[in-house]
Homo-oligomer: A and B are copies of this chain.
Amino acid sequence: MRKSKEEAEKTRRRIVTSSAAEFRERGIVATGLNDLMRAAGLTHGGFYRHFDSKEQLVAEATDEAQAAVIKRMKDAAGRGRTKSRSHGGLAAAVGEYLSIRHRDDPRDGCPLAAMGSELARAGAKTRETATAGFQNLVEILASEFQGIKPDRAKKRALVTTATLVGALTISRIVNDPTLSKAILREAVDSIVSA
């Protein structure tokens, strides 16, 4: 049954990746190791060959999810910038984050929005990871604010990121589709036209 080092490493990455999606879709506490291992195509017994505890997996899965969202935002901003409109990068990144697609697919989305209230109660390592991810998002947005001093841009980006996370979270809570869309649309408008 033993697998090669290379294969074992691939298995480990597969567990982290599929767990990152499961946690974002179902929540951290609500998702058991059984669910996670099954999602990775394994049985639960092998879990501790790869991780010390569920908490360690939570931290690594959060890290991977954050990295993916950061790449997604950078890519969107890059695409927006080439359109050479003023604030094109900002508008594209914000529009991507507050898209219907992002709202309806938490598995692939921002962990701060998908598991925010649970991250506030998570272990030290996970919160450290989440903090770093948040700061990365802030930097991406700050670099898209044109014509203002860097420290003003940073402060504005702090607030903008809070708006993004809050708007996406609430758009998922709300049971009225029109209201949900309006939250996303008005948040985009407000940020881009500020």
A residues contacting B by CB (< 8 A) are 26-27, 29-30, 106, 112-121, 124, 127-128, 130-131, 134-135, 155-156, 158-159, 161-167, 169-170, 172-176, 179, 182-183, 186-187, 189-190
A117's contact among B113, B134, B155, by CB below 8 Å, is which?
Answer: B113
Q: How far is the CB of A108 from chain B (nearest CB, A)?
A: 15
In the A-B complex, the 7 residue pairs with the smallest Cβ-Cβ separation, listed nearest first, are: A166-B166, A162-B167, A162-B166, A120-B172, A165-B166, A29-B29, A159-B190
Q: List 28 A-B contacts (CB under 8 A).
A: A27-B29, A27-B121, A112-B169, A113-B117, A114-B117, A116-B116, A116-B117, A116-B169, A116-B170, A116-B173, A117-B117, A119-B173, A120-B172, A127-B173, A128-B175, A130-B174, A131-B175, A134-B170, A134-B173, A135-B179, A155-B186, A155-B189, A158-B182, A159-B190, A161-B170, A163-B163, A164-B166, A166-B167
Contact check, A120 vs B166: say whether CB atoms are below 8 A apart. Answer: no
**In the bound complex, do residue B165 and residue A169 qualify as a contact, i.e. CB atoms below 8 Å apart?**
yes
Q: Is the CB of B170 within 8 A of A162?
A: yes
Give the number of times this chain occurs in the complex, counting copies. 2
Interface contact B162-A187, CB-CB below 8 Å? yes
Min C-beta distance of A181 to chain B, whole Å: 11
Chain B residues contacting A131 (CB-CB under 8 Å) are 173-176, 179
A119 to chain B, nearest CB (A): 5
